[in-house]
Amino acid sequence: MNWNCWKSNQLRSKVNFKLDFSYIELILYIFDIINYSNMKKILFTLLLGAFIMGSVSAQTKTAAQIAKEKATEDSLQYALGVYMLKTLEKKGVLIKGAMFQKAIDDVITKKKLMISEANAEKMINVLDADVAGVKGKMMEQQLFAELAKRKDVITMPSGVRYAVITRGTGTTPEPEDSVVINVTGTTPDGTVFVNSQDKQESFLLTVGQLVPGLQDAVLRMKAGSIWRVFVPANLGFGERGNGTTVPPNTPLVYDIALVSVRAAKK
């Protein structure tokens, strides 16, 4: 089967991953660095309220009007606090009231911070990396639980899973051979980290240049085969990820076509 034809007509059956709970995004969000859509709505409401109250302030106000405006402003501020904390709670962030409140008060009142902004950012970065690793493990558990229900998915002794799209009849490579492949690699949520079609040409690689899990699969393929391969994190990029598009402990999904095998020179 033609690779480009298959790629253009296939329906990728992805597990729907919605595990977005980065602590650093949430903490930065608190300090108004990241603007989420819901945050924008709330800020718009607050600004609109401030504008209305500011416009009225230019006019003569009764005591009742002033009291009502104060109550409205307080309610908006309170609503913002509720939304922020409930969002953190839903994301699994443990809030210890006293210190969290102190940090907010110190920032708002511009007091000297107990921890510098630079050190706070470093601490959150470490925490965020830990959370990313947990997220990767959860993605792997969810992915492989879904695969366990599929009769077309075969599990290898190493833990690598694969589904055969097209059965080839050509040569099976040896560990020292080179292979010509068309490949697209993604995380379970669909983030692409490699795509041979970006360069409009196949990759020529030695088998040893592939991640261990993909090596395991390729050594079982015959030239002409097209497989979808599911690689556990420990046989992919492991605990560090690839530093960019693949977070720590994240499993990999490859659509790979083994075009040909080039035997190593003896």
The pLDDT confidence band at residue 89, using thresholds 50, 70 and 90, is confident
Q: Tell me the residue length of the chain.
A: 266
Strand 153-155 and strand 192-195: the pairing is: unpaired
- What is the tens place of the pLDDT at every residue in 9-32? 443 444 444 344 444 444 444 444
Please, are residues 140 and 250 in contact by the beta-carbon 8 Å criterion? Answer: yes
Structural tokens at position 65: 């009007």
Please, are residues 177 and 263 in contact by the beta-carbon 8 Å criterion? Answer: yes
Please, are residues 180 and 168 in contact by the beta-carbon 8 Å criterion? Answer: no
**Closest Cα to residue 241, out of 156, 93, 128?**
128
Helix, strand or coil, per DSSP, at residue 132? helix
pTM for this entry: 0.59
Q: Is pLDDT larger for residue 177 or for residue 21?
A: 177
Please, are residues 243 and 213 in contact by the beta-carbon 8 Å criterion? Answer: no
- Domain locations in the chain as residue ranges: 23-114, 153-262
- What is the tens place of the pLDDT at every residue in 239-264? 888 888 998 999 999 999 999 999 99
Q: Does domain 153-262 have CATH number 3.10.50.40?
A: yes
Structural tokens at position 91: 């994301």
pLDDT score at 79: 86
